[in-house]
Amino acid sequence: MVKPLSKLFQNPETNILAEIGKTAALMHGVVDLSIGDPDQTTARSIIDAAYTAMKQGYTHYTASAGDPDYLQAVLKFHKDYFNLDYDLTNVRATAGASHALFIAMGAIIDPGDEVVILEPYFTSYKVEVEAFGGKPVFVQTKPENGFQPNLTELKAAVTAKTKAIIVNSPCNPTGAVFNQQTLTDIVTIARDADLYIFADEVYWPYVFGDNKFIPLESLAPERTIVTGSLSKVFAMTGFRIGYLLAPKPIIDAAGLLNEGVSYTPVAPSQHAGTFALNHLQEFMPTLQKAFATRLNYLAENLAKVPYLKVQPAAGSIYLFVDIRQSGLDDVAFSDYLLKEKNVLVIPGRAFGAAGNGFIRIAATQDMPELKKAVVAFQTLKLPQ
Ligand SMILES: Cc1ncc(COP(=O)(O)O)c(C=O)c1O
């Protein structure tokens, strides 16, 4: 006999995503609109940057905070695009935003601390908060408000134990983009209660129409913890490269934790990342345009399907679609759509209870696949 595993990961809750994934894996020719992984292969020149660096011997550990060239590229990009001044004491290279979130949570959370998460939310937040003994406190955002936070409810969720609020704009899964006033109000709530703010900015270029991406760190640099990623900006998910940008004490503490996590990020990925960031204009607009076109196409055509209610995406690479008029709940609907039409989407409740009645459609396939999906929605015969 050996002692039991940590209670934390012996969670008997059904994993909705895993269940649907299992069914999909047994099927052929599925139009997979479930994952937030752009279908585009990383640009050849970015791949070459990693490959060339490896052939030249960049196959070793880098400095623990990251390769100085990569860190400078992050700072320069941040200055060029957002006109914000940070220095090398404010930045760490990470294996994607996931790693940045994890080590930054570890830097600020003591057991019992509460972290406010706006629902529907990117599912990893809960695990990351709980991994350090923190308590996630969920505040629902609602479709009738375009999934914008209700600031009175947000304020009411803050207690003496609250340590941080997580903000993800553009948002996965809802596509909501928070405007200057909303962000300013969030900052006021955070300042009044001495809180940190996580600004998860992985979708920053994906804002459409009149919406604008506003970096939270421009409003509250003293308390904002930016988790950034090259995954979606450059279609580099498999490289696992991102960054943490924050006040120095957080960077230092996260660095100490990371000594026991990954020590350094992946060297070739940092080389690829340096190249990508230094040539951002060569890559990003193409992806931005592709996602804008795809989301427009989906929103326009799905809006005509009688049992769907669709708002054009304000941002992100997802469409969050109301299926309540189908007479099915979101899990049953996703299951039915998969079995009847071979189209895989994610039920909204996978992102928290506030997602009930919605499905998330990732525009991470090319137009011919999206066209197939639209036909599937148009021709789906709902059970009577
Ligand atoms: C909101 C959000 N944050 C963070 C991540 C993690 O991205 P990565 O670890 O690939 O940088 C994702 C990935 O889907 C995401 O949607």
User: What is the reported pLDDT for 224?
Assistant: 98
User: What is the reported pLDDT for 58?
Assistant: 95
Closest residue by Cα to atom 13, ligand 1, is 36
pLDDT digits (tens, 9 = 90+) for 51-68: 999 999 999 999 999 999
Per-residue confidence band for 291, with pLDDT thresholds at 50, 70 and 90: very high
User: Counting atoms of ligand 1 from 1, which one is nearest the CA of 99?
Assistant: 9
User: What's the mean pLDDT in 168-178?
Assistant: 98
Contacts of 340 (CB under 8 A, 6+ apart): 376, 380, 381
Residue 280 predicted with pLDDT over 70: yes
Calpha distance 384→366 (Å, rounded) = 33
Mutation test residue for ligand 1: of 202, 243, 351, the one with most atoms within 8 Å of CB: 202
Closest residue by Cα to atom 16, ligand 1, is 172
Which residue is associated with the tokens 């200055």? Answer: 79
Q: Are 210 and 179 in contact (CB under 8 A)?
A: no
> Which residues lie across from 221 on neighbouring strands?
none
DSSP state of 160: T
Q: Does any ligand 1 atom lie closer than 6 A to the CB of residue 229?
A: yes
User: What's the mean pLDDT in 61-76?
Assistant: 97
Q: Does any ligand 1 atom lie closer than 6 A to the CB of residue 231?
A: yes
Calpha distance 108→161 (Å, rounded) = 12
Residue 24 predicted with pLDDT over 80: no
User: Counting atoms of ligand 1 from 1, which one is nearest the CA of 168?
Assistant: 1
Measure 156 CA to ligand 1 centroid, in angstroms.
28
User: What is the reported pLDDT for 283?
Assistant: 97
User: What is the reported pLDDT for 13?
Assistant: 66
The CATH H-level superfamily of 7-42+283-379 is Aspartate Aminotransferase, domain 1 (3.90.1150.10)
User: Counting atoms of ligand 1 from 1, which one is nearest the CA of 230?
Assistant: 11
Q: Does any ligand 1 atom lie closer than 6 A to the CB of residue 162?
A: no
Mean pLDDT across the chain, nearest whole number?
95
Say what percent of the chain tops pLDDT 70.
99
User: What is the reported pLDDT for 25?
Assistant: 80
Q: Of 255, 182, 196, whose CA–CA distance to 224 is shortest?
A: 196
Q: Are 323 and 357 in contact (CB under 8 A)?
A: yes
Q: What CATH class is the domain 44-280?
A: alpha beta
User: What's the mean pLDDT in 267-278?
Assistant: 98
User: What is the reported pLDDT for 41?
Assistant: 97
Q: Does any ligand 1 atom lie closer than 6 A to the CB of residue 316?
A: no
User: Counting atoms of ligand 1 from 1, which one is nearest the CA of 242?
Assistant: 11
User: What is the reported pLDDT for 14?
Assistant: 67
pLDDT digits (tens, 9 = 90+) for 224-255: 999 999 999 999 999 999 999 999 999 999 99
- Domain ranges (residues) in the chain: 7-42+283-379, 44-280
Residue 132 predicted with pLDDT over 80: yes
Q: Does any ligand 1 atom lie closer than 6 A to the CB of residue 96?
A: yes
> Which residues lie across from 361 on neighbouring strands?
319
Amino acid at 342: N
DSSP state of 207: B
Q: Does any ligand 1 atom lie closer than 6 A to the CB of residue 98?
A: yes
User: What's the mean pLDDT in 161-179?
Assistant: 98
Mutation test residue for ligand 1: of 35, 98, 201, the one with most atoms within 8 Å of CB: 98
Q: Are 315 and 178 in contact (CB under 8 A)?
A: no
User: What's the mean pLDDT in 361-372?
Assistant: 97
